[in-house]
């Protein structure tokens, strides 16, 4: 129902993205994606809501304990399966073909000692001109995914900076650490949500586990999710900054990192220096200004006084 309410705004946002050159997708293709994504989301939400109400009925005061275990298990399963089940429903993936880009990936992986898994090229350009890359999966599904826009439009130094950044996420086990964050935050968040929803339910007279109690539970979960999301963003920004440092040290090419961040901001129409509160609450990555500043700082620090004229 919420998806249908937001549909006119989603259509307007898509049309605006087409107007400014970010989206390359026809409205019909976009609508098909919208239907698939919301269909999957609705099925997951229905199953989760049904299961949650069953837990609340069975364990009125301690449902948050099995609920936390189920949430962590679902997060791990989603991370494991998403690259091979969900992502292919929306895009075509193929192993990165032999060439300079693949050679750079293998060379950087060898230098860093990182076992990469497979590296894939994804046909992101059929939807967007945006540039991106990511690490996904667990165990046998672990992979580095590079947008075709990135491979086609960035120069070699910029591509190497991206690959080195993604290798950092693999080397530093950032996906397992993200699951650890879920394992820690889920019990705390659900414990708070259980207490808050119980208090709200008592005010309205709704019995725990009954459909009438679902709005109070949904409100408590929404507040909890937002708070955990803000905390998660703080962690994510630190992780991304650390990955940038790793990439700078691996490539020793701060100029390419600067060029990459500037190009990403222009291509993706990102605000290079958003208001501090917006970044604090919603930013999962350091701002462009912060990332460029870190690369410039690395460039200054790698030049010792002995390399110059001895001036302070």
pLDDT value at position 312?
A: 39
**Residue of 163, 56, 175 whose CA lies nearest to 120:** 163
> pTM of the prediction?
0.88
**Residue of 192, 202, 214 whose CA lies nearest to 48:** 214
Judge contact between 182 and 72, C-beta under 8 A.
yes
pLDDT tens-digit readout, 78-118: 999 999 999 999 999 999 999 999 999 999 999 999 887 78
What is the percentage of the chain residues whose pLDDT exceeds 90?
A: 76
Judge contact between 233 and 281, C-beta under 8 A.
yes
H or E segment to which residue 118 belongs = strand 118-122
What is the percentage of the chain residues whose pLDDT exceeds 70?
A: 97
pLDDT tens-digit readout, 211-267: 777 888 889 999 999 999 999 999 999 999 999 999 999 999 999 999 999 999 999
Largest Cα separation within the chain, whole Å, is 78
Judge contact between 141 and 78, C-beta under 8 A.
no
Judge contact between 129 and 224, C-beta under 8 A.
no
Confidence tier at 310 by pLDDT (50, 70, 90): very low
> What interhelical angle do 27-58 and 2-19 show, nearest 10?
150
Mean pLDDT of 140-166: 94
pLDDT value at position 215?
A: 84
């Amino acid at each position: 129902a919420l998806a249908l309410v937001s549909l006119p705004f989603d259509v307007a946002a898509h049309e605006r993205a087409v107007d400014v050159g970010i989206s390359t997708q026809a409205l019909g293709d976009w609508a098909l994606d919208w239907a698939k994504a919301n269909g999957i989301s609705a099925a997951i939400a229905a199953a989760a809501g049904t299961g949650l109400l069953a837990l609340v009925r069975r364990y009125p005061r301690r449902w948050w304990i099995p609920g936390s275990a189920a949430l962590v298990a679902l997060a791990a399963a989603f991370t494991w399966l998403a690259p091979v089940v969900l992502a292919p429903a929306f895009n075509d993936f193929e192993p990165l073909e032999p060439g300079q880009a693949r050679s750079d990936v293998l060379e950087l992986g060898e230098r860093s000692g990182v076992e990469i898994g497979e590296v894939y090229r994804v046909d992101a350009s059929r939807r967007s001109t945006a540039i991106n890359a990511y690490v996904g999966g667990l165990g046998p599904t672990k992979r580095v995914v590079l947008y075709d826009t990135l491979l086609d439009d960035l120069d070699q130094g910029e591509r190497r900076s991206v690959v080195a950044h993604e290798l950092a996420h693999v080397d530093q086990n950032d996906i397992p650490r993200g699951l650890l964050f879920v394992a820690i935050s889920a019990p705390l968040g659900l414990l708070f949500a259980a207490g808050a929803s119980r208090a709200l339910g008592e005010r309205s007279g709704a019995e725990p586990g009954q459909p009438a109690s679902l709005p109070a539970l949904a409100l408590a979960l929404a507040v909890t999710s937002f708070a955990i999301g803000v905390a998660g963003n703080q962690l994510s920004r630190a992780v991304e900054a650390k990955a940038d440092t790793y990439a700078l040290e691996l490539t020793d090419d701060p100029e390419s990192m600067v060029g990459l961040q500037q190009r990403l901001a222009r291509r993706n129409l990102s605000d290079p220096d958003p208001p501090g509160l917006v970044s604090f609450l919603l930013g999962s990555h350091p701002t462009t200004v912060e990332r460029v500043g870190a690369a410039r700082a690395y460039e200054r620090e790698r030049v010792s006084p002995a390399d110059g004229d001895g001036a302070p």
